[in-house]
């Protein structure tokens, strides 16, 4: 293998170094990291702010000394690669004191990652505006919390890092406002699934300012004043979590091929446009697994896999990276949110044909105490039922259901396959029909025309002039607590007795609370000659999408 220089540590770089050594004991391996830490749990950084992780050393997965001793790797921290010359196959490194020197290489792995997005806004570099990407970032915020005892904080950006920071600042006793220019938090979700997250954040005392953009930040005697499109807000400090961009200045200097976003373009072997230079992690453009289109999906799991695969290929093993499907998960207090594959926004953008189904299932047997409900949205191909993506929000068992669905998508399975999955059952863990099975059954009913559906965003456009029949098949008590304008209460259990009052000339649009009773009512009516549509997700989903 010869000599490999790995530029960047953390997930991809450190993984590649360890894998190279396991495959070749004689290789020369140099790992260069401009920071002081070569391998740390950056996904755990927000939890140090609240004290959930009490010792910062717990975030350091490997010290430079320990890593060097175990893997016989030449680890060089606090050094930055400032020039990559692919013609002479040399890397120029700059030490902390400014001095420079050159190393030759046989292969290079670029694991330079991503950096926080900092738009050119007045005050963005104020000392009380923080980002959270590294251990020093975390230590700086924690030091402020301990020394100044701040009360008010603003988080700009409602992505995964933003909401995790907000949760942990709230746990630390601060008032927190999340500001996001989009109409929702957590972009991997669609708006309808994010609505449950909005409710959760507000229940926990976090203020949301959505559809709100950052204009400027100004210092004052006590902290900062943040100018937003909606007005001004005062705070002791700001955490900027707008997002990240690929950190590819070195690749650009080396004239490696980049895409329009600045990500390094690699082939399936993770080689750049120079075959002796590999690239992994957040710096690269990946193929989105479901659609096969280029994407920027900075996630720790794929970065680790890519580091291993690049090492394999350098050592002559044929290891192909087959794409990233974006499986991700986040904890928000006692709620869990997870997603995998395509969401509806991206399916529309890419022109991928899809239908969607919403189910709301108990996380385990209803008679066993301590359970909750899972809200599940699944996207699928309307012709074949092939699974395209899933989003889940709930309080128990979200992770394992999303992992099952992620596996099913990776395996190219259909909704029919979900109905056949034999998943572990005992009352403390699930029901005999697991929520994944139930999602499959709901989609199977759509694919086989056992039911026709309509969606929450179709409701308000339905005519109220009598040309269609609008029914609410919940109980009178449920109807009295709230109902959709124009829908007449006709409870499921008395529906058969009132069929004679309905006309078959008018299509029937009906709903229940979550969709199940609506399905039963639709089966009764369709078998009696009516054309029927059931509201997927029911009144619950419609109501929660209307409350912002």
| Residues 495 and 468 sit within 8 Å (Cβ to Cβ) | no
| Residues 34 and 120 sit within 8 Å (Cβ to Cβ) | no
Long-range contacts of 469-473 (CB under 8 A, 24+ apart): 469/502, 469/503, 469/506, 469/507, 469/508, 469/509, 470/508, 470/509, 470/510, 471/508, 471/509, 471/510, 471/511, 471/521, 472/510, 472/511, 472/512, 472/539, 473/510, 473/511, 473/512, 473/517, 473/518, 473/521
Q: Please name the helix (run of DSSP H) or strand (run of DSSP E) that holds residue 80, with its range, or none.
A: strand 80-85
Sheet strand arrangement including 284-287: 264-265, 284-287, 294-295
| Residues 185 and 173 sit within 8 Å (Cβ to Cβ) | no
Regarding beta strands 508-511 and 532-535, do their DSSP bridges make them parallel or antiparallel, or are they unpaired?
parallel
The answer for 243, left when phi > 0, alpha when psi is -120 to 50, beta otherwise, is left
d(Cα 391, Cα 148) in Å, to the nearest integer? 40
| Residue 336 β-bridge partners | 331, 394
The answer for 519, left when phi > 0, alpha when psi is -120 to 50, beta otherwise, is alpha
Catalytic residue among 43, 315, 402, 512: 43
Q: Which burial class, exposed, middle or buried, applies to 44 when counting CB atoms under 10 A from its CB (0-12, 13-18, 19+)?
A: middle
- Catalytic annotation present for 195: no
Catalytically annotated residues: 43
């Amino acid at each position: 293998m010869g000599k490999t220089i790995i530029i960047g540590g953390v997930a991809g770089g450190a993984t590649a170094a360890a894998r190279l050594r396991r495959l070749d004991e004689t290789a020369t391996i140099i790992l260069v990291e401009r920071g002081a830490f070569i391998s740390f749990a950056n996904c755990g950084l927000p939890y140090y702010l609240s004290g959930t992780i009490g010792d910062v050393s717990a975030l350091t997965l490997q010290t430079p000394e320990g890593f060097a001793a175990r893997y016989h790797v030449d680890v060089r921290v606090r050094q930055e690669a400032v020039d990559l010359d692919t013609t002479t196959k040399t890397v120029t490194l700059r030490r902390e004191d400014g001095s420079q020197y050159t190393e030759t290489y046989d292969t290079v792995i670029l694991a330079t990652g991503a950096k926080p997005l900092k738009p050119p806004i007045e005050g963005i570099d104020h000392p009380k505006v923080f980002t959270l990407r590294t251990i020093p970032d975390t230590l700086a915020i924690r030091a402020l919390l301990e020394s100044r005892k701040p009360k008010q904080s603003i988080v700009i950006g409602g992505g995964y890092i933003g909401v995790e920071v907000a949760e942990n600042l709230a746990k630390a006793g601060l008032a927190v406002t999340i500001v996001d220019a989009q109409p929702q938090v957590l972009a991997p979700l669609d708006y309808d699934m994010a609505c449950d997250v909005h409710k959760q954040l507000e229940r926990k005392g976090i203020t949301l300012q959505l559809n709100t953009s950052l204009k400027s930040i100004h210092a004052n005697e006590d902290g900062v004043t943040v100018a937003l499109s909606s007005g001004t807000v005062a705070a002791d400090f700001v955490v900027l979590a707008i997002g990240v961009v690929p950190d590819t200045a070195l690749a650009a200097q080396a004239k490696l091929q980049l895409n329009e976003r600045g990500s390094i373009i690699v082939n399936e072997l993770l080689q750049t446009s120079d075959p002796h230079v590999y690239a992994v992690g957040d710096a690269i453009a990946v193929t989105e697994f479901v659609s096969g289109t280029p994407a920027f999906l900075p996630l720790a799991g794929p970065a680790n896999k890519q580091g291993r695969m690049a090492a394999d290929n350098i050592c002559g093993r044929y290891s192909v990276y087959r794409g990233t499907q974006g499986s991700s998960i986040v904890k928000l207090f006692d709620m869990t949110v997870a997603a995998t594959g395509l969401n509806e926004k991206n399916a529309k953008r890419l022109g991928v044909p899809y239908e969607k189904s919403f189910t709301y299932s108990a996380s385990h047997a209803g008679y066993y105490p301590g359970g909750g409900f899972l809200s599940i949205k699944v996207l699928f191909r309307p012709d074949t039922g092939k699974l395209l993506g899933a989003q889940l929000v709930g309080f128990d068992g979200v992770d394992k259901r999303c992992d099952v669905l992620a596996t099913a998508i990776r395996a190219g399975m259909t909704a029919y396959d979900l109905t056949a999955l034999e998943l572990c059952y005992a009352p403390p863990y699930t029901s005999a029909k697991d929520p994944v099975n139930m999602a499959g059954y709901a989609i199977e009913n759509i694919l086989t025309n056992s039911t026709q559906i309509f969606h929450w965003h179709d409701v308000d456009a339905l005519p109220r002039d009598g040309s269609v029949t609008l029914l609410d098949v919940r109980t009178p008590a449920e109807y009295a607590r709230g109902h959709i304008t124009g829908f007449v209460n006709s409870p499921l259990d008395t529906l058969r007795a009132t069929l004679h009052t309905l006309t078959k000339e008018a299509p029937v649009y009906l709903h229940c609370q979550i969709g199940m009773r609506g399905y039963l009512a639709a089966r009764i009516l369709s078998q009696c000659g009516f054309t029927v549509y059931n509201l997927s997700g029911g009144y619950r989903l419609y109501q929660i999408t209307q409350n912002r």
